[in-house]
């Protein structure tokens, strides 16, 4: 149905073009035109046809380039769903962190002194 409508519109446009051309010829005394004027008019029509053909070729070329391009959605990736849990850092959490760091440093210092004393005591036994 759409193609039939398009064809009908194109046929009507062509008929309208020839009607206007006929009115122009009648208005300017078409029978009294010199051969040079007719040749000039025909050359104008040929030039117009070449220009329309060039425009059509450019549009066709652009359409063929666009139709061969890959769609942007082809390369689209989506991140999988992730969940994050955030907790407030309270004063008691800070206190536990400080106490834990203090105890860990005491343990490391004690270990260092024990190992140092044992290393120093071993050469005297020999």
Q: Is the domain of 53 the same as that of 107?
A: no
Helix (H, G, I), strand (E, B) or coil at 119: helix
The answer to whether residues 62 and 97 belong to one domain is no
Residues 6+ apart with CB under 8 A from 96: none
Does residue 115 fall inside a structural domain? Answer: yes
Token pair of 21, please?
Answer: 């051309």
Q: Which residue has the tokens 């959490």?
A: 93
Whether 113 is in a domain gets the answer yes
Question: How far, in Å, CA of 50 to CA of 38, rounded?
Answer: 18
Whether residue 19 is found in the same domain as residue 62: yes
Residue 29's contacts (CB-CB under 8 Å, 6 or more residues apart) are: none
Rg (alpha carbons) of the chain, rounded to whole number: 46
9 domain residue, yes or no: yes
Q: How many domains does the chain have?
A: 2
Q: What is the pLDDT of residues 60-99, one digit of tens each?
A: 888 887 776 666 665 666 777 788 888 788 889 999 999 9
Same domain, 42 and 7: yes
Q: Is residue 121 part of a domain?
A: yes
77 occurs within a structural domain: no
Give the separation between CA 126 and CA 116, rounded to whole angstroms.
17
Confidence band of 123 (pLDDT split at 50, 70, 90): low
Tell whether 50 is covered by a domain: yes
Q: Same domain, yes or no, for 97 and 62? A: no
Domain that holds residue 14: 2-28+37-68
pTM of the model: 0.33
For residues 79 and 98, give the distance between their C-alpha atoms in angstroms, rounded to a whole number: 38
- Dmax (CA) of the chain: 138
| pLDDT of 124 above 80 | no
Task: Identify whether residues 59 and 19 lie together within a single domain.
Answer: yes
Q: Are residues 62 and 7 in the same domain?
A: yes
87 belongs to a structural domain: no
Provide the pLDDT for residue 72. 61
Mean pLDDT (the chain) is 82
């Amino acid at each position: 149905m759409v193609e039939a409508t398009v064809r009908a519109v194109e046929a009507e446009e062509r008929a309208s073009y020839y009607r206007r051309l006929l009115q122009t010829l009648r208005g300017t005394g078409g029978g009294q035109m010199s051969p040079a004027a007719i040749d000039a008019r025909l050359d104008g029509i040929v030039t117009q046809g070449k220009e329309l053909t060039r425009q059509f070729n450019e549009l066709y070329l652009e359409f063929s380039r666009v139709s061969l391009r890959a769609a942007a959605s082809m390369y689209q990736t989506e991140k999988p769903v992730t969940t994050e849990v955030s907790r407030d850092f309270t004063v008691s959490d800070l206190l536990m962190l400080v106490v834990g760091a203090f105890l860990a440093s005491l343990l490391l210092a004690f270990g260092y002194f024990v190992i140092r004393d044992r290393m120093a005591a071993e050469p005297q036994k020999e």
